[in-house]
Structures are given as C-alpha cells and as structure tokens.
Amino acid sequence: MISVHICVGSSCHLKGSYQIMKIFQEIIKNKNLEEKIDLKASFCLGNCTKGVSIKVNNEIFGNINPENAKEKFDEYILKKVNNND
C-alpha cells in the first residue's frame, strides 16, 4: 500500500489542493487502485513555498497544480505502484 498525503494547509489550499484531491481520487477510481493507494489529506508539510505539496510514503514532492496533477500522479505515484514498492 502506498500512502499519499495531499497538503491542505492554507498555502497549498489556495493553490488548489482540493482540486488535486479530486483529480487523484478520480484517477484512483478509474484505474481501480483503491487497494493499492491510501489517499489522505494532510496538514502543512513544511514545503509551502513549493506548493501544492504531496507526500508519497516518506518523500515530499512540490509544485503540483491542477494542470499538471495527472502527469505528476503518473510520475510520483503510479511508477511506485507499478514497481510494487
């Protein structure tokens, strides 16, 4: 199970974390990844200048926005699912 936290702290929230949450939920549903990915909201990840921030397992990634969310999901999350890591 891969744990994914999307920051919903105030700075990230303003940059669209809610939309990113929706986009990720949609991808997880469409690809039937509910059993493999545990998606949650998180308080500030301490990476506000590079928001929106997400944490995948213990790694933090920034600069995610509603426009690049799909691409970033593939890059940071889907790859891990496929590697079973």
Residue numbers 46-65 binding ligand FES by CB under 6 A: 46-48, 51, 53
Interface segment toward ligand FES; rule CB under 6 A; list 30-38, 39-47, 65-73, 77-85: 39-47
Query: Residue 41, interface with ligand FES (CB under 6 A)?
Result: no
Is residue 7 a contact residue for ligand FES (CB under 6 A)? yes
Copy the structure tokens of residue 75: 């890059």
Most distant pair of Cα atoms in the chain: their distance: 33
Window contacting ligand FES (CB under 6 A); options: 7-15, 18-26, 28-36, 67-75: 7-15
Q: DSSP per residue over 3-60, as a string?
A: EEEEE-SHHHHHTTHHHHHHHHHHHHHHTT-TTTEEEEEES--S-GGGPSPEEETTEE
The residues of the shown chain that bind ligand FES, judged by CB under 6 A, are 7, 9-12, 44-48, 51, 53
